[in-house]
Structure 1
């Protein structure tokens, strides 16, 4: 096996350990995808609305995505704030979500350095 593959496997093991440390906050793949979109928008300083996220049909139905957004909110990863237009809700990551991505970045750096 090449060093790059071993680094990736090491990274996956670190992610698994990270998930086991946060037992009550394990995300399913749909929640992870939604949170990725929210974080990327946040980093790009773009606002993302609930309507934008529930229209991502590749991730699931509107009802499914709305439920996953509620889960992310309940777990403390996102908060929904009224937009300039009071009828729309903007989704923003919380400190907990930002910390999660910092931890994932640390895992990636450790896996790459260990090779």
Structure 2
């Protein structure tokens, strides 16, 4: 199968997933932000709220703030403190977001099959 066909098949599967009731409704900025949060968490370098606000390649700080609120309301991220430091909030994916990424991973596997 050609690379283009694999990618288009993957996109088709992703769009099918987005139509399912258990898939959260997120716009592209929120998805990008969630991906950054999840990758940094996976690397054991959790993103702080301050660092997230500086992600100007995704959106403006005001938009990032709204997207963080949206992701929290959807149950996709949570904020935690580390140790005794109560000034720095870290962004972490929730089980709901891990389940979301699991379904995306399965779509990727299906596209390659």
Q: Equivalent residue of 1:21, what SS?
A: coil
Number of aligned residue pairs: give it: 112
Query: Do residues 15 (structure 1) and 7 (structure 2) align?
Result: no
Query: Do residues 67 (structure 1) and 66 (structure 2) align?
Result: yes
RMSD: 1.5
Q: Equivalent residue of 2:91, what SS?
A: strand
Match of 1:33 in 2: 32
Match of 2:42 in 1: 43
Per-residue Cα deviation, 1:13-59 (whole angstroms, up to 9, x for no partner): 11001111037722111111111111101111112111110111121
CA offset at residue 8 of structure 1? Answer: 1.1
CA offset at residue 82 of structure 1? Answer: 2.5
Unaligned ranges ≥5, structure 1:
none
Deviates more, 1:61-70 or 1:75-84: 75-84
Q: Equivalent residue of 1:87, what SS?
A: strand
Query: Do residues 102 (structure 1) and 102 (structure 2) align?
Result: yes
Match of 2:88 in 1: 88
TM-score normalised by the chain length of structure 2: 0.91
TM-score normalised by the chain length of structure 1: 0.90
**Which has more strand, going by share of residues?**
2
